[in-house]
Amino acid sequence: MEASVQETALTDLFQQHIAEKVSRFQHILETLDWDEIIIGSGSEKVQFQDDMAYSFKINPYFREWMPLDKRANCFLQIQRNTDKPTLYLCCKEDIWHSAPQALPEGFSEHLEIIEYASIEELKKQLKISEERLVLINETNDLEIPNAQWNSQQVLHAIDFQRRSKTSYEHACVRQATQLAVPAHRAAEQAFMSGATELEIASAYLSACKRSENEMPYAIIAGINENAAVLHHHQLNRQSVQPRSFLIDAGVQFNNYASDITRTYAFDKDSDFSAMIDHLDKVQQTLVNEGGIGKSPMDLHVLAQQQIAQILIDFKLLKVSVEQALDKKIINTFFPHGLGHHLGSNVHDKGSRLASPKGDLVPASEKYPKLRASAPMVANQIYTVEPGIYFIPSLLDKLNAGKQADSINWKEIKKWMPYGGIRIEDNIILHANSELENITRQAFHK
Ligand SMILES: [Mn+2]
């Protein structure tokens, strides 16, 4: 019974989601003076000199509306002054592949659905109101005369509104998190029993009952030194004596992803285990610092300060927190941003926009590459993921430079075999300023 109650709730949330998106897109159409927007789901790509297709990735602008991730050649039409969007579903006869993915139960009521078998047929069926039309799709296969293909103006406006998520989107990321937690537990267990990186990834996939192609992003699973490779995707099939393990993996639900990182020590009495605990406390402090209107750049600086303090406490740094930041020594140990928006893309767009026109929040001189720089908004979903790494190439550079004396190199050598630590949770910043750590909630259940 409980499942059906939840399904009903999700159907209601989807209805609200569609109504909210229609209203936001109507506003964009009016402001920018267009009559309609058509969003394609994308088409399959065939590999060079082969008849095999790459695994299909749906257009993120389409997934913002529709919980379909396996259906190519579909189109969603949103028209000015029309409350119900029209979904054109491609239904050609195909004996080679499984039946096309269907919408979840109860979702189709909120859409006008038209099936078509060929592009020619679709072109006839598309009831295009006027000529002022924007097509958002990777390829311009509709070839509608006068249609503006991927208007940058419209894309900016969509990216800007996307930062604030609907309750349906919150529910989907929560569900994606609940599906990921048992898989993270299975991965931890596999690591503790001496499994290889590849075996751990298999344990993860089988626990969340997903195939590799259904992952929102490739599983990062690094044992020992490999934990220092930020995007360690080339998983090792050899077994090694385990010391440390970093796993960064999510699950997708109705096209929304969770994005979770955990780090484990094989020996719970080790200094490495103690450092994980320190970073875990820092991570929770950083989560609690979030708020509407706050600057992600300020949070990034706070993360750098607190990470520098950990390095000082563990006698790795011989300088003050201020010097570690001023001289950019901290970038060797924490070389990435504190987090990103999470949504239609795993690294969701719009996090640097200052306006729907596409103006960017000026990049800070110190941190020009930060992905999230715009002040935090109500209902956004984002990640908080501080890290401490011992990356050989960055340490070599530091050792060869002017700041080499700031480091206790004898100690650093002891830490390098552990690779690094990253801890990542997903947070909803509610309109009433409440911070919901959906990852911790799911782990504590
Ligand atoms: Mn992330």
Model confidence band, residue 1 (pLDDT cutoffs 50, 70, 90): very low
pLDDT at 443 over 90: yes
The torsion angles phi and psi of 76, rounded to 5 degrees, stand at -115, 130
Q: Tell me: do 113 and 215 sit in the same domain.
A: no
Average pLDDT, the chain: 94
Centre a 10 Å sphere on the Cβ of residue 302 and count the other Cβ atoms it contains: 16
Query: pLDDT by residue (tens digit) across 247-257?
Result: 999 999 999 99
Q: What is the CA(22)–ligand 1 centre distance, in A?
A: 29
Q: What is the CA(270)–ligand 1 centre distance, in A?
A: 27
Q: Tell me: do 128 and 239 sit in the same domain.
A: no
Q: How many CA atoms lie within 13 A of 75 on its CB side?
A: 28
The mean pLDDT value for 227-247 works out to 96
Q: Tell me: do 150 and 14 sit in the same domain.
A: yes
Q: What is the CA(164)–ligand 1 centre distance, in A?
A: 18
pLDDT at 3 over 70: no
Instruction: Tally the domains of the chain.
Output: 2
> Domain containing 103 — which CATH number?
3.40.350.10
Q: Tell me: do 361 and 407 sit in the same domain.
A: yes
User: Which of 161, 196, 225 is at the close of a domain?
Assistant: 161
Model confidence band, residue 8 (pLDDT cutoffs 50, 70, 90): low
- In 3D space, the residue among 208, 226, 213 whose CA is nearest the CA of residue 70 turns out to be 213
Q: What is the CA(435)–ligand 1 centre distance, in A?
A: 18
As a whole-number percent, the residues of the chain with pLDDT over 70 amount to 97
Q: What is the CA(69)–ligand 1 centre distance, in A?
A: 20
User: Which of 144, 161, 178 is at the close of a domain?
Assistant: 161
Can you give the residue range of the structural domain that contains 395? 167-444
Q: What is the CA(110)–ligand 1 centre distance, in A?
A: 32
User: Which of 96, 130, 161 is at the close of a domain?
Assistant: 161
Maximum alpha-carbon separation in the chain:
73
Query: pLDDT by residue (tens digit) across 374-424?
Result: 999 999 999 999 999 999 999 999 999 999 999 999 999 999 999 999 999
Residue where the block lists tokens 């927007």: 37
pLDDT at 37 over 60: yes
Model confidence band, residue 234 (pLDDT cutoffs 50, 70, 90): very high
pTM of the model: 0.95
Sequence-ordered list of residues with C-beta below 8 angstroms from that of 220, at least 6 positions apart, any chain: 230, 231, 232, 233, 246, 247, 248, 249, 261
Note the pLDDT of residue 126.
Answer: 81
